[in-house]
Structure formats: structure tokens, C-alpha cells
Amino acid sequence: MRRSRIGMIGTKLLIFSIIIVLIPIVMMSYVSTDTISDLMTSNQESELDINLGILNERMDSVLVEFDTMTAYTANLPVVVTAVKNNDKDALQDFANGLEDQSWIDLAVFTDADGNVICASYGDDNAEISSYVKKLLGKNTIYAYDILPNEEASKYSDYELDGHDALTIFTVAPIYDGNSLIGTVTYVDIMNKDDYWVDRVKEVTGDEASIYLNNLRISTTCQKDGVDLVGELADEDIYETVSKKQDVRSTVTINGVPYLAKYSPIYNIDGEVIGMTCVGTPKSPFTVLLNSVIQKIFFIAFSSLIIAVFVAVILNKKIVDSIKKLKNSAESFGRGNYDERALIDTGDELEELAESFNKMADEIGKSDKKLKSDAHTLKTSFDELKEVDNLKSEILSIVSHELRTPLTAILGYVELLKDETAGKLNEKQKEFVSVISENSDRLKRITDNMSDLVTVDNKVLDIKRDKINLKKEVNDILRSFDHFAESKNIVLLEDVDNLDIKGDKSKIHQVLSNLIENAIKFSKKQTKVTVMGFEDKGNIHLEITDQGPGIPKEHLGKIFDKFYQIDSSSKREVGGSGLGLAVCKKIVESHGGSIWVESKIGKGTTVHVMFPLVK
């Protein structure tokens, strides 16, 4: 068992060494990994911002190009003349030629109120007219908006598959001098048109998409050579974008995870009608991050192995020194006080061994002295025990020898009080009363001496009778009337009519001792109060005087045998120092408790608790 404990110390030292090394390694690995991960994430987000900037730049350039084209068209004399003369044929020919020569989907000419005069599609369309009027009303030259599928399908170059179209509208006013006579409007449908998103693919190699609401209408993402249009974006993503916020998220395209960024597209009223999206694959960053993590953990593991190897060597040296010190301590513990620990490590263990050796020297000297003192102490103890036995024997003899003449005295005193031997005058009655009181006091002292011997022998004969405490207290107070009157002390009683079970003579002895002490130590012309009441299933007695009080440092000792407070009042009234010790023993033998509270100059209260008979 002892060897295993030494082994446990070595194991603990090894574990502590590993922990000490492991903590910084783990922290370094975590911080490094976290920092690199944050850096890579930051790079990915920067790349997404760049890609989104490229896409927005392409879309803005188209808007500028459309604006330039409409402005140029609006200033052509042939267009101004045709609009002024409401020449639909000339405008229709011009619009058809314009659509054939450019990549716009629809060219529209309107009057000054925005009503369509003619369009390259060849239809006087009220739907287009409403968009033109909205642009004129907002004084806006270009905007994004949504055309219903039924209208957009008429002039789209692609099948819209039943979906509405995200459309660019550009409008330029046509003036005759300073008078607005009409407008020229270009319309371009963005569905399935990769012109915008291809720019991102060309520059960065990453993917880009354009959405109408959350429907993908244009993208560089393909599967088997076919653009992945018509798919819906995640509802949570679009819900956030519709609140005019950019969103970063991870999406999966053809089973490949991408880090994507979404940005809203607004119409002329500032409402979100779609969104742009750019995405970059996560795999290159993931591969790089995994590679860095592997290298970090390789370094950490290698450092840990080296640390463990060094710790094992150092721990062995420490454990060997501890074993030497342990063996010396065990030998010393078996009583070999000449044992010394010889350790030469040049560190704290050597200092510990030196301290052990000094301790061994001192203990060796102390052992010899203790043996000598123990012999002297045993001799003194035997002598004290003999004296204590002699004291008990003397007390027993004295109390026994005093009782015989005291009994005779008490008997003759009672005869005198009963005037059996003849009539007594008042003075004689007073003398007899004094003799009777002091005889009773002497009897209580002899009873205390006898009980003290019994207490020391731990034998106390208790009879259990029903006792009414109110009657008992009243009887005792009456017996002390003369003693109290001699000091002009008023005796007060307020005890409830409650019963306990106990030895009547012993209870009488306790109450007499306590009430006598209260009168004895009270100042003249004061009062002594005895109160009794029910307290949580017990009867609680309080005997209170108005004496000088007991100092706090003496309260814990007043129940010790022969203990007396060294004070002028104590010397004046006298006492054996047995009464309270006997009272405590009797009260506790009845299952009760006793304690004292006192204030210097105000008086003392003795508390006694007895179990209540119900």
C-alpha cells in the first residue's frame, strides 16, 4: 500500500506536468486555429464583396448604356419629327430597326403623357404605358420592375416557363424646342440573360445569380451544361433580404458547398423585387484550414511527447528522493530516533531532508524529557487521585457525622417553636426562628456535601413523584421570610400552576439553594422574583435578584465544584461552592437544564427548565 502511494505521487507529478504543458498547447492550438479560421472567413467575405461589386458594376454599366442609348434616340431629328406628327409608321419602322440592331427586347415611343404611340413589338400596349407613366411621375430615367408573364412573353427571346420577368426600364424625354412632346423607352428582360452574371465568372471564376423575388432567373451555375434557373432561394434568406439587408449564408450547388452573399434589387418605389447573389466554393478554404490544423496538431503532439519524456526523467529523480525521505520517516516513526535522511539533490527536497533531520534531533531530545516528565506526572496523578479519594471520604464522614447532631438540633428547635417546653415570648420566638433558619442552612450544606460525593461517584438516586412547582416555590419562599425580612428584601412569586415529575426532596434542595443564593447576594431593600411559565413543552423557572451581578468571565465556571467568585460580597456572605454544582447535577438528572444570565450592577437571573407533566 505504501509503495502504491509513492507511485501515485509519481503519477500525479506526471499528470500535473502533462497538464502544465497541455494547457498552453491547447490554448495556442485553439487561438491559432480560431485566428486562421477568422482570417480565412474574412478573406472569403472580402472575395464575396469584390464579386458582388463586379456584378453591380456590370448592372450599373448596362443602365448607363441604356440611358445613353435612349437619350441619343430622343435627340434624333427623325424621331422628334415623327413623335411631333404622331407618325406611327415612321416610328414603327425606326423601332423595328432599333430592336434588330441592338440587344434590347422592346423599344417604345409615347406621347408627353406616357401613352404608347407605337412599339417595336407593334402593339399599343397599356401595360407598358403604365410603367412609362410611373417613371415620368417619379422623374426617373431608369429602374428595375416586374412585368407579368403574359406581357413579357410577347417579346422575350427566351421561354419564361410561366414566370414573370425582371425587367430594366429606361426612359428619355423627347423635346420640340422646350416643349415635352413624348418619350422613348427601352425595355430589357433579364430572365435567362447571362450577360450580367457572366462578368463575375470571367473575372473571378466564381458563381453569380440574379433572382426575381426568390426565383433564380439568371445564373452561371450549371448542371450537365444547362443553367440552373427556375430554382427557389431559401425562404429565410429572402425574408431577410426583403427587409433590405444583405445576407451571408452557406448554400449547396450540385452537392458543392458555397459561401454566398445576397443583396436586394429595388424597384422605382424602393420595394425589394429581387436579389443578386455571388458565391465562392468553400472547399479551397476548407482544405487550407484542415492542412493548417493538421500541422498545428502535429506540432502540439510532438511537443507533448517531448514534455512527457522530460517529465518522466524529472519525476523519477523527485520520487526516488521522496522514497528515501519516506523510509527514514517510517523508521523514525517506529521509534528509531537515530534515523536520518541523507538526500543530496541541491533543491527543496534536500532542504526538507535537513529540516527532517533537525526535527529528529529535537524530537529525540524531547522524547527523553517527555519520558522523565511522564514519570513525574504519573506520580503526581497518583498522589492527586489519592487526595481526591481522601477528600470524598472526608466529605462523606463529615456530612454523616454532622447529620446526627443536626437532626437532634432541628428536632429540639421544632419542639421550641411548637412551645412544647413552655410558652415563648416574642424575643425568644425570634431567636428560635433564627436558630431554625441557620439549622436548615446547615442541613442543606451537609446535604450538598453528601450529594457531591454521590455526584463524583456518578450515582444519584432519583424518585419520580408528581410535584406542583407553584406550591413548592411558595413553601420555600415562606421558609425564607425571616431571612429576607432581615435584609428588607421583598420576595415575589409568579409561577403558573404546573406540575413536573421528579424527586421532591431533590427539587426542594435545588429551589432552596437558588432562592437562598438570590436573597444572600441581593442588596438590602431590593426584591427577589421567582417566575414560572410553560415554554415549548417545559416549565421555565426564572429566579432573579438585584445583586451586584456576576462578571462575564465567571459565568462559565460557577457550576464547577468548589468554585467561588473572589469578591467582597462573596466573602461577606460566605459559601461552600458546592450548591450550584449539586443543583446542575440534580436538574440534568431530571432531564432539565440550568444556566445563568447576569449584568454587572443590575443583578442575576438563574434559568431552570424541567419537562412539563401534561
Distance CA 156, CA 42 (A): 41
User: 462-611 adopts what CATH topology?
Assistant: Heat Shock Protein 90 (3.30.565)
Q: Does residue 574 have a pLDDT over 50?
A: no
How confident is the model at residue 613, as a pLDDT?
79
CATH of domain 194-286: 3.30.450.40
pLDDT digits (tens, 9 = 90+) for 370-422: 777 777 877 777 777 666 666 666 655 655 566 557 666 766 666 776 777 77
pLDDT digits (tens, 9 = 90+) for 321-348: 777 776 777 666 676 756 666 666 666 6
Pair type for strands 226-227 and 222-223: antiparallel
pLDDT digits (tens, 9 = 90+) for 536-558: 889 999 999 999 998 888 888 88
Query: What is the residue whose three cell numbers read 440534580?
Result: 586
Phi, psi of 229 (to 5 degrees): -95, 160
| For the chain, domain boundaries | 194-286, 462-611
Share of the chain above pLDDT 90, in %: 21
161, 444, 449, 457, 607 from 510: Cα distances, Å: 113, 10, 14, 19, 12
The radius of gyration computed from the CA coordinates of the chain, to the nearest angstrom, equals 58
Distance CA 280, CA 258 (A): 5
pLDDT digits (tens, 9 = 90+) for 494-530: 999 999 999 898 899 899 989 988 998 898 999 999 9
Query: What is the residue whose three cell numbers read 426612359?
Result: 171
